[in-house]
Amino acid sequence: MGEQTLQLLKVLQQGPAGPGRIIFQSSGRAINRHTANEAWRHARTKVTGLGDGWHELWPYHASQQIAGGMSPVAVAHRLGHKDATETLRTYAHLWPDDDTRAAALTVGGVSVDLATIAHTLPTSTPNA
pLDDT digits (tens, 9 = 90+) for 6-64: 888 788 777 766 666 666 666 666 777 777 777 777 776 666 555 555 566 778 888 88
Q: What is the 3-state secondary structure (H, E, C) of 78-91?
A: HHCCCCHHHHHHHH
Q: What is the DSSP letter of 127?
A: P
What's the rounded Cα separation, in Å, for the pair 60 and 81? Answer: 15
pTM of the predicted model as reported, rounded to 2 decimal places: 0.44
Q: Which residues contact 28 (CB under 8 A, 6 or more apart)?
A: 18, 19
The answer to whether 94 touches 63, Cβ cutoff 8 Å, is yes
Start-to-end C-alpha separation, the chain: 63
pLDDT computed for residue 95 by the predictor: 86
The answer to whether 9 touches 15, Cβ cutoff 8 Å, is no
Amino acid at 43: A
What's the rounded Cα separation, in Å, for the pair 44 and 62? Answer: 17
Average pLDDT over residues 63-82: 90
Q: What is the DSSP letter of 58?
A: H
The tens digit of pLDDT for each residue in 91-114 reads 998 888 777 777 777 776 666 677
The neighbouring-strand residues paired with 26 are 29
